[in-house]
């Protein structure tokens, strides 16, 4: 991986001599993670925006941005890049507000919303007076939210979809791509409508199914709390995404509702088929369903960090001491914490070295994080 990115600084359009301003509206999980990827690079100034004064103070205090403001105008003024990182339901009004402001000529406005068709269509209708809108979706995240959950490494090795239209000048797409190399994500370009169809199926539908499943079990649990107690293992892990932020997901599902309604119908047909196989006691048919699913699943591309990850990971900033990695692995071993992978991430200028620890079980991650913190290691998600 390091080979793929070893040259990434050669592709930047900024330097001490050519400084740029990046404005981030909504410095939460995704906005904060992007801010961390840009902040501290030579010639880059990252400004955060929130409607809430207490949030702006928090963004600065946590060192995620260089400065923060509650004024939309102040944040947008002279910005070279504007990232809209607010819930999907708010994106179009932010684009409207920006279209009424005197933006820097050539400013690139982009968003990180989990749905793309409506915001791209909306921006396409507006005159942005010398600015250009390019839809974007970093396809990694977690069930956590807020700036507290932001991480420098969140988007590393994930896909990052951009949805330029026929009208988007290619040089602007190139400029945005070069900036996004700082996330270490892999850029994929596609059409916004196709994006919503595919992401609806592979991400939005699983979130709906996880929520419906948890609520189904919660109903049974009302009359027998053994359901909850026995659900502590695998069930807890496969339904992790049911704990995602309600406002973020309300907006995503409502925005993608036409696609979701068709997907729910297909899902119901799949469940009806299963019910028929059960009713007719068709064991071969049931086994065939598993065989077909297993065959398809085995052909999925290499594990890539991204949507609905089943790996639980944390990062430890490691001081430059000989034997430190062995020491950490030994501590985890003594505590009987099952580590699935341990990797030194190429060290960066701003941190001495980073160790990535991966676990198959969220409990192992929780226990490892608590243990390493108690031993005074700098651990982050």
Ligand X SMILES: NC(=O)C1=CN([C@@H]2O[C@H](COP(=O)(O)OP(=O)(O)OC[C@H]3O[C@@H](n4cnc5c(N)ncnc54)[C@H](O)[C@@H]3O)[C@@H](O)[C@H]2O)C=CC1
Q: Which residues of the chain form contacts with ligand X (CB under 6 A)?
A: 26-31, 50-51, 55, 85-88, 90, 112-114, 137-138, 141-142, 145-146, 245, 248, 252
What the block records as the tokens of 189 is 């370009």
Residue 309 interacts, among ligand X, ligand ENO, none and using kind-specific CB cut-offs from 5 to 8 Å, with ligand ENO
CB nearer to ligand ENO: give 330 or 340.
340
The answer to the question of residue 33 lying near ligand ENO (CB under 6 A) is no
Paired residues of 49 in beta bridges: 25, 69
The answer to the question of residue 110 lying near ligand ENO (CB under 6 A) is no
**Contact partners, residue 137, CB within 8 Å, separation at least 6:** 112, 113, 114, 116, 160, 161, 163, 195, 199
Query: In whole angstroms, what is the distance from residue 249 CA to residue 31 CA?
Result: 16
The answer to the question of residue 141 lying near ligand ENO (CB under 6 A) is yes
**Contact partners, residue 344, CB within 8 Å, separation at least 6:** 318, 325, 353, 354, 355, 356
The answer to the question of residue 47 lying near ligand ENO (CB under 6 A) is no
Report yes or no: 30 and 83 within 8 Å, Cβ to Cβ. Answer: no
The least CB distance from residue 123 to ligand ENO, in Å, is: 19
Extended strands (E) in 164-204: 186-189
The least CB distance from residue 203 to ligand ENO, in Å, is: 5
Q: Is the dihedral of CA 110, 111, 112, 117 positive or negative?
A: negative
What the block records as the tokens of 17 is 């001599």
Residue 308 interacts, among ligand X, ligand ENO, none and using kind-specific CB cut-offs from 5 to 8 Å, with ligand ENO
44-49, strands of its sheet edge to edge: 67-69, 44-49, 20-25, 81-84, 108-111, 132-138, 159-163, 186-189
Candidate segments 63-71, 179-187, 294-302, 306-314, binder of ligand ENO by CB under 6 A: 306-314
The least CB distance from residue 306 to ligand ENO, in Å, is: 7
The least CB distance from residue 181 to ligand X, in Å, is: 18
Residue 203 interacts, among ligand ENO, ligand X, none and using kind-specific CB cut-offs from 5 to 8 Å, with ligand ENO
140: enclosing H helix or E strand: none
The answer to the question of residue 142 lying near ligand ENO (CB under 6 A) is yes
Residue 208 interacts, among ligand ENO, ligand X, none and using kind-specific CB cut-offs from 5 to 8 Å, with none
CB nearer to ligand X: give 41 or 207.
207
310: enclosing H helix or E strand: none
Phi, psi of 216 (to 5 degrees): -60, -45
Residue 164 interacts, among ligand ENO, ligand X, none and using kind-specific CB cut-offs from 5 to 8 Å, with none
354-359, strands of its sheet edge to edge: 341-345, 354-359, 312-317, 378-380
Q: Is the dihedral of CA 41, 44, 45, 46 positive or negative?
A: negative
Eight-state DSSP code of residue 341: E
**Contact partners, residue 192, CB within 8 Å, separation at least 6:** 116, 117, 120, 121, 135, 163, 165
Phi, psi of 377 (to 5 degrees): -80, 150
The answer to the question of residue 132 lying near ligand ENO (CB under 6 A) is no
Query: Applying CB under 6 A, which of residues 217, 308, 339, 371 lies at the interface with ligand ENO?
Result: 308
Report yes or no: 37 and 183 within 8 Å, Cβ to Cβ. Answer: yes
The least CB distance from residue 137 to ligand ENO, in Å, is: 6
Candidate segments 87-95, 255-263, 285-293, 305-313, binder of ligand ENO by CB under 6 A: 305-313
**Contact partners, residue 205, CB within 8 Å, separation at least 6:** 260, 263, 264, 267
CB nearer to ligand ENO: give 99 or 203.
203
Candidate segments 86-94, 259-267, 273-281, 301-309, binder of ligand ENO by CB under 6 A: 301-309
Candidate segments 139-147, 164-172, 231-239, 334-342, binder of ligand ENO by CB under 6 A: 139-147
Query: Applying CB under 6 A, which of residues 179, 241, 259, 357 lies at the interface with ligand ENO?
Result: 241
Residue 69 interacts, among ligand X, ligand ENO, none and using kind-specific CB cut-offs from 5 to 8 Å, with none
Extended strands (E) in 182-235: 186-189
Candidate segments 80-88, 179-187, 281-289, 303-311, binder of ligand ENO by CB under 6 A: 303-311
Binding site for ligand ENO (CB under 6 A): 114, 139-143, 203, 241, 307-309
């Amino acid at each position: 991986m390091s080979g793929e990115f070893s040259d990434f600084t050669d592709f930047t359009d900024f330097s001490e001599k050519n400084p740029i301003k990046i404005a981030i509206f909504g410095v939460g999980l995704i906005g904060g993670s992007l801010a961390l990827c840009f902040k501290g690079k030579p010639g880059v100034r990252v400004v955060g925006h929130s409607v809430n004064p207490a949030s702006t103070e928090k963004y600065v205090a946590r060192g995620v941005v260089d400065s923060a403001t509650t004024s939309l105008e102040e944040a947008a003024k002279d910005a070279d890049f504007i990232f809209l990182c607010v819930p999907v339901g708010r994106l179009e009004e932010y684009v409207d507000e920006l279209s009424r402001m005197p933006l820097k000529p050539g400013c690139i406005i982009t968003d990180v919303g989990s749905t793309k068709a409506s915001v791209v269509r909306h921006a396409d209708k507006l005159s942005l007076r010398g600015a250009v809108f390019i839809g974007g979706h970093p396809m990694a995240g977690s069930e956590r939210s807020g700036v507290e959950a932001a991480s420098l490494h969140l988007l590393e090795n994930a896909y990052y979809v951009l949805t330029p239209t026929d009208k988007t000048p290619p040089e602007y797409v190139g400029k945005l791509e070069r900036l996004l190399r700082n996330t270490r994500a892999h850029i994929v370009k596609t059409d916004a409508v196709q994006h919503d169809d595919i992401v609806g199926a592979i991400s939005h539908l699983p979130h709906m199914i996880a929520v419906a499943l948890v609520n189904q079990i919660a109903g049974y649990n009302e009359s027998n709390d053994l359901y909850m107690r026995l659900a502590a293992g695998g069930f807890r892990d496969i339904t992790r995404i049911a704990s995602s932020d309600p406002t973020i997901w309300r907006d995503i599902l409502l925005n993608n509702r036409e696609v979701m309604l068709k997907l729910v119908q297909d899902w119901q047909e799949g469940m009806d088929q299963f019910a028929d196989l059960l009713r007719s006691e068709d064991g071969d048919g049931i086994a065939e369903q598993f065989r077909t699913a297993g065959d398809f699943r085995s052909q999925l591309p290499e594990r890539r960090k991204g949507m609905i990850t089943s790996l639980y990971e944390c990062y430890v900033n490691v001081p430059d001491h000989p034997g430190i990695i062995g020491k950490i692995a030994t501590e985890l071993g003594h505590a009987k914490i099952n580590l699935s992978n341990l990797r030194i991430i190429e060290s960066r200028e701003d941190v001495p070295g980073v160790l990535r620890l991966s676990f198959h079980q969220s409990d192992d991650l929780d226990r490892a994080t608590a243990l390493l913190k108690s031993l005074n290691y700098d651990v982050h998600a």
